[in-house]
C-alpha cells in the first residue's frame, strides 16, 4: 500500500493508494483503526447471518418452524443487521 502526504511530491500523490490531506501521519492511524473496526463489523454480521439462517434451515427441515415464520424471521434479521450496521464504527 502506498501512502503520500498532501504536501509531498506530485508524483507520489498520484501513485499512492492513500493520500493524507494533513501534514502528519495521524490520519494513517485513524484509517487503520477505521479499517479494523469495519472488518470486525463485517465479520460479525457475516457470522450472525450465516448462523441464524443456518438455524432457520435446520428448524424448517425438522418441521419445527413453518415456512411463513422462517421468512418473517429471515427478513427481520436482515433489517436488524442493516440497522445495526448504520451505527458509528468508531466512538471518538
* Average model confidence (pLDDT) across the chain: 88
Closest CA to 13 of 4, 24, 1, 22: 4
- Are 22 and 6 in contact by the 8 Å Cβ rule? The answer is yes
pLDDT for residue 89: 92
pLDDT for residue 83: 96
Q: How far apart are CA 65 and CA 76, in angstroms?
A: 15
Where exactly are the structural domains of the chain?
Answer: 3-85
pLDDT for residue 16: 79
Closest CA to 78 of 48, 34, 43: 48
Q: What is the pLDDT of residues 61-92, one digit of tens each?
A: 999 999 999 999 999 999 999 999 999 998 86
Q: Which of 31-35, 53-57, 71-75, 80-84 bottoms out in mean pLDDT, i.e. has the lowest?
A: 31-35
More confident residue, 32 or 58: 58
DSSP classification of residue 89: S
Can you tell me whether residue 5 is helix, strand or coil? strand
Amino acid at each position: 500500500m502506498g501512502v503520500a502526504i498532501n504536501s509531498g511530491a506530485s508524483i507520489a500523490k498520484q501513485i499512492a493508494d492513500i493520500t493524507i490531506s494533513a501534514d502528519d501521519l495521524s490520519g494513517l492511524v485513524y484509517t487503520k483503526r477505521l479499517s479494523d473496526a469495519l472488518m470486525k463489523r463485517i465479520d460479525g454480521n457475516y457470522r450472525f447471518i450465516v448462523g441464524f439462517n443456518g438455524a432457520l434451515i435446520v428448524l424448517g427441515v425438522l418441521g419445527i418452524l413453518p415456512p411463513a415464520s422462517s421468512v418473517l424471521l429471515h427478513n427481520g434479521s436482515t433489517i436488524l443487521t442493516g440497522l445495526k450496521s448504520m451505527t458509528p464504527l468508531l466512538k471518538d
